[in-house]
Chain A
Amino acid sequence: MKNIYKVNDNKFKSIYISYNFTFETKKEEVPKNVITSLVLSKGCNKYKTSKEIEEYLSSLYGINFDINMEKIGDLYNIEFRLECVNKEFLPNKEDVLKPAIDFLYEIIYNPKIENNEFDSVIFEREKKLVLDKINKRKDEKLKYAVLKTEELLCNQEPFGTYIYGEVNDAENVKLEDIYIQYANLLEKSFVSIVISGNLNGYDDIEQYIDNVFKNELDKAIFNEELINISHKNIDFTTKIKEVKEKIQTNQAVITIGMRVENLEDNDFYALNVYNSILGGTPSSKLFQNVREKESLAYTARSRYYRFKGVFIIYAGIEEINYEKAKIVILKQIDEMKNGNISESELNSSKESLISDLLEWNDSKISLAKLAYTNAISGKSLTIEELIDNMKKVQLEDVAKVAKKIRIELIYLLGGEDSEK
């Protein structure tokens, strides 16, 4: 059935339902989308307030329901997600899955709208909540430093926007925008539904979902290769930017932002291995050198953003050690570029990545995520195929992608305290 994906595994006891709206967005549109989806989740015609919603979900053995927002490269995804127990494990074999699906329909497609306007009280509340989220991101320094690096690195691209958007854009959102944005969301998104977990006793579940959402799914656009949007023309700078930001803190954070030039689909595996060797595990170059050898940090890691071809390295350090940490980190990147990677580094990194992939089998959410990623990229990769491809990665593949990686930014989030 179009746009409905099912993963069944009887080792689970519960079921995860993920209803996704994936779309292209502009920086300034981000808060509008966030507020719209939050407003939807806090009341509809049938369950008027968030209290009514939660009471209803409690009575169905505590269905978990929330909204998850995610950047998929330059695309944006809003996910309405539910988690409930399979009837076999509940007293009197009470079915809560079908009520959960009906509930989701009410929330998304039967919202509280009067005279083309959403509920203003809910709107004001959610808008304020989003503003709070944007403003308080500075309260956690390590996370903030990474977010800031994303922003500085890709400031002209949607990816460089905080998941809740910017303060100014959020402040400008008006009640009437929500109605327009709601219509946009329904019209211009790629809609996909994933259901995963223990579906024993629910052979007809796809049919059921299709019946409930049929009219809406027929209207939704179907975009097989949405994800390719992410890889379009980026101008690479050759100059490394160095940025320092002052903040009240007693631990500084150094980050390094890097980009992959000419990112190709097949680089995925080698880039993951690259990340793992550089800073993904305790045997990685960053952990071994920045932490174990030089005692400069407790946290020293790298992260790879697969949908964007971006790497961010981050370490919590003492500010006076900034120059030293910079040299040590840059040296590790150089080692990667020069192919100074041992067989044992390669193999243990691959082992660790393969373990991570195998572990997806234990999580209905990871399994759903894989199905979703396949859906938006028009693929049908299995965990086994991912593992096979990961196994094939050789030293020269890692060395090859290492040469495509450009350092673009060195950032220090430093303390006023240490200057006193």
Chain B
Amino acid sequence: MKNKIEVIKNETLSETIYKTVLSNGLEVYICIKAGFTKKIGMFGTKYGSINNDFIDISSGKRVDMPDGISHFLEHKLFEKEGDNSLDLFSKEGISANAYTSFDHTVYFFETINKFRKGLEMLIELVKTPYFTVENVKKEQGIIGQEISMYENDPNFNVYFNTLRAMYINHPIRIDIAGTIDSISKIDKDILYTCYNTFYNSNNMFIVVIGDVDVSDTISIIEDKFKLYKKNIKSDKVIKFRVNEPNNILQKKIEKDMGLYMPQISIGYKLLPIEKDEIIKREVISDIISEMYFSKSSKFYEIEYNKGAVSDDIDFIYEGTNDFSHIIISTTSPKPDMIQNDIFNYIDEIKNKEIDANLFKNTKRRKIGENIVESENLNNSYRRIIDSILHESQLYYDIEILNNIAIKDIKDFLNILDYTKAVISIVK
């Protein structure tokens, strides 16, 4: 084997990840799940809805793209001359799909016994764009319905309004799919510009999960890539970040959707941090969510008995090297009441001593949950993709869980600043 393969083992979850970088710059991760029948293959690019401002790799010029183009491109890549790739996978009995997020796009397949075929088809899918005037037009109708579907979804609205209240310039404010208007500006030429820039091997990764042979898998990838050798220039991508102030845009956004049960979400805007620190914040937030907001918390019991909540309260950290925030969300017949109670409660727990027994038990719960969740193959790829995007250590989440101390919880609670908090309500 000419490529150096790094082996990363985790004892707690009893799984092993093999990592290598091919000569074209492509990162490959293979996570072995012994005994499982399903195999997942993913081919992704570090390119998502927030990357509209960048240097076109072919011309060297700075360009600005319409909102929703990365998602549009994801849809369009499935279109091939005379065929739809989704259909081709489906005809083989392989299920395939893709998703676009703020900062990455991933194409994937799942199979039981056609792993080689699936992996070859996946690479072909991503490496052979076929954009035409007609097929771009057709997609505008389908994505138009996808946008309507999201507009109709209360969860989506309450979430995006939280982001829109928190962020002033950051493109995270913008729907991943764009708007009917912005996608009408997309044509085949600019799709190729985005494709050529971001879908070059240097900016991409392949992740495989399942009971597969490591060297065979790498050979399949290398052999398939030889077919597309000279397609596009492979280089580091230059993306521009906007200057985002620390303050929020507006305190509160409300929307009427004729709901029976209002949804509320509170966002705390934080300063971005990097790499392993992102993972650490995620783990801390998960513990806080369990200790202070779950159905077993005193707070939940009080709010429930007041009739102020009707479902779980979630306390979730979201962040990359580029943005950082906490989102607390629930459904409530009395959104104004729960909103005030949450703000007061956070101030209260900042200064309160942490119950050591509760903290110990919560850590035990999280250890158990990690083990149970490791049976789900999706969990393994999420960990790998997070590590690729954040450039953090693999399994840092497992490692840090054992080392989190009461002080870490306290320190984190104390960075939550009311003046950086926003409220989003959908009624």
| Nearest CB in chain A to that of B151: its residue | A250
CA distance A10 to B35 in the complex (A): 8
Q: Using known A-B contacts A129-B310, A292-B84, A354-B93, determine if residue A85 contacts B298 with beta carbons closer than 8 Å.
A: no
B34 at interface by CB-CB < 8 Å: yes
| Nearest CB in chain A to that of B305: its residue | A125
Q: Are B37 and A362 in contact (CB under 8 A)?
A: yes
Interface centre among B35, B91, B138, B331 (most CB of A within 10 A): B91
Chain B residues with CB under 8 A of A317? 145
| Nearest CB in chain B to that of A276: its residue | B90
Q: Are B367 and A62 in contact (CB under 8 A)?
A: yes
Chain A residues with CB under 8 A of B146? 298
CA distance A317 to B225 in the complex (A): 40
A308 at interface by CB-CB < 8 Å: no
Q: Using known A-B contacts A11-B36, A55-B296, A63-B368, determine if residue A248 contacts B87 with beta carbons closer than 8 Å.
A: no
Q: Are A135 and B372 in contact (CB under 8 A)?
A: no
Chain A residues with CB under 8 A of B112? 355, 358-359
Chain A residues with CB under 8 A of B133? none
B1-57: which have CB < 8 Å to A? 12, 14, 34-38
CA distance A137 to B374 in the complex (A): 32
Name the one of A84, A138, A250, A298 contacting B143, with C-beta atoms under 8 angstroms.
A298
Chain A residues with CB under 8 A of B295? 50, 54
Chain B residues with CB under 8 A of A283? 86-87, 90-91
B96-142: which have CB < 8 Å to A? 96, 111-113, 138-142
A39-81 CB contact bits vs B (8 Å, 1 = yes)?
0000000000111011101111111100000000000000000
A204-238 CB contact bits vs B (8 Å, 1 = yes)?
00000000000000000000000000000000000
Name the one of B34, B304, B366 contacting A62, with C-beta atoms under 8 angstroms.
B366
A338-357: which have CB < 8 Å to B? 344, 347-348, 350-352, 354-355
CA distance A63 to B37 in the complex (A): 26
Q: Closest approach, in angstroms, between the C-beta of B144 and any C-beta of chain A? A: 8
Q: Are B361 and A59 in contact (CB under 8 A)?
A: yes
Q: Closest approach, in angstroms, between the C-beta of A388 and any C-beta of chain B? A: 16
Q: Are A13 and B90 in contact (CB under 8 A)?
A: no
Binds B, one of A29-37, A139-147, A153-161, A404-412: A139-147
Chain A residues with CB under 8 A of B152? 141-142, 249-251, 316
B62-79 CB contact bits vs A (8 Å, 1 = yes)?
000000000000000000
Name the one of B94, B140, B364 contacting A58, with C-beta atoms under 8 angstroms.
B364
Name the one of A10, A62, A281, A297 contacting B364, with C-beta atoms under 8 angstroms.
A62
B347 at interface by CB-CB < 8 Å: no
Chain B residues with CB under 8 A of A396? none
| Nearest CB in chain B to that of A63: its residue | B368
CA distance A114 to B188 in the complex (A): 72
Q: Are B260 and A62 in contact (CB under 8 A)?
A: no
CA distance A357 to B363 in the complex (A): 36
Q: Using known A-B contacts A136-B260, A251-B152, determine if residue A348 contacts B310 with beta carbons closer than 8 Å.
A: no
- In this complex, the interface size class of chain B, counting residues with CB under 8 Å from chain A, is 35 or more
Chain A residues with CB under 8 A of B14? 13, 89
CA distance A53 to B95 in the complex (A): 40
Chain B residues with CB under 8 A of A318? 145, 148
Q: Closest approach, in angstroms, between the C-beta of B33 and any C-beta of chain A? A: 8
CA distance A347 to B113 in the complex (A): 15
Chain B residues with CB under 8 A of A128? 307, 310
B154 at interface by CB-CB < 8 Å: yes
Chain A residues with CB under 8 A of B259? 136, 139
CA distance A316 to B153 in the complex (A): 12
Q: Are A11 and B261 in contact (CB under 8 A)?
A: no
B294 at interface by CB-CB < 8 Å: yes
Q: Are B361 and A55 in contact (CB under 8 A)?
A: yes
Q: Are A61 and B368 in contact (CB under 8 A)?
A: yes
A394 at interface by CB-CB < 8 Å: no
B149 at interface by CB-CB < 8 Å: yes
Q: Closest approach, in angstroms, between the C-beta of B263 and any C-beta of chain A? A: 8
Q: Are A352 and B95 in contact (CB under 8 A)?
A: yes
Q: Using known A-B contacts A58-B362, A299-B149, determine if residue A355 contacts B93 with beta carbons closer than 8 Å.
A: yes
Chain B residues with CB under 8 A of A105? none
Q: Are A85 and B372 in contact (CB under 8 A)?
A: yes
| Nearest CB in chain B to that of A197: its residue | B375
Name the one of B91, B145, B358 contacting A251, with C-beta atoms under 8 angstroms.
B145
| Nearest CB in chain B to that of A352: its residue | B93
Chain A residues with CB under 8 A of B367? 61-62, 91
A148 at interface by CB-CB < 8 Å: no
Name the one of B92, B148, B368 contacting A348, with C-beta atoms under 8 angstroms.
B92
A14 at interface by CB-CB < 8 Å: yes
A112 at interface by CB-CB < 8 Å: no
B349 at interface by CB-CB < 8 Å: no
Q: Closest approach, in angstroms, between the C-beta of B229 and any C-beta of chain A? A: 30
Q: Are A51 and B95 in contact (CB under 8 A)?
A: no
Name the one of A51, A96, A247, A288 contacting B87, with C-beta atoms under 8 angstroms.
A288
B168 at interface by CB-CB < 8 Å: no
Chain A residues with CB under 8 A of B149? 142, 251, 298-299, 316
B301 at interface by CB-CB < 8 Å: yes
Chain B residues with CB under 8 A of A350? 93
Chain B residues with CB under 8 A of A63? 368
A291 at interface by CB-CB < 8 Å: yes
Q: Closest approach, in angstroms, between the C-beta of A295 and any C-beta of chain B? A: 3
CA distance A90 to B364 in the complex (A): 10
Chain B residues with CB under 8 A of A84? 368
Chain B residues with CB under 8 A of A355? 93-95, 111-112
CA distance A297 to B38 in the complex (A): 30
| Nearest CB in chain A to that of B361: its residue | A58
Q: Are B145 and A297 in contact (CB under 8 A)?
A: yes
Q: Closest approach, in angstroms, between the C-beta of A43 and any C-beta of chain B? A: 12
Q: Are A348 and B93 in contact (CB under 8 A)?
A: yes
Chain B residues with CB under 8 A of A9? 35
Chain A residues with CB under 8 A of B141? 295-296
Q: Using known A-B contacts A50-B296, A61-B364, A283-B91, determine if residue A362 contacts B369 with beta carbons closer than 8 Å.
A: no
B377 at interface by CB-CB < 8 Å: yes
* Chain B residues close to A by CB (< 8 Å): 12, 14, 34-38, 84, 86-87, 89-96, 111-113, 138-143, 145-146, 148-149, 151-154, 257-261, 290, 294-298, 301, 304-305, 307, 310, 331, 333, 358, 361-362, 364-369, 371-372, 374-375, 377
A13-B372, A135-B260 provided; 5 other pairs, C-beta below 8 A?
Answer: A89-B14, A249-B152, A298-B149, A358-B112, A359-B37
19 A-B residue pairs with Cβ-Cβ distance under 8 Å, sorted by A, are A11-B35, A14-B372, A62-B364, A83-B372, A91-B367, A125-B305, A132-B310, A282-B86, A282-B96, A292-B87, A295-B141, A299-B149, A317-B145, A352-B93, A355-B93, A355-B111, A358-B38, A358-B112, A361-B37
Q: Which 7 A-B pairs have the closest CB atoms?
A: A351-B93, A54-B296, A11-B35, A295-B141, A61-B368, A62-B365, A62-B368
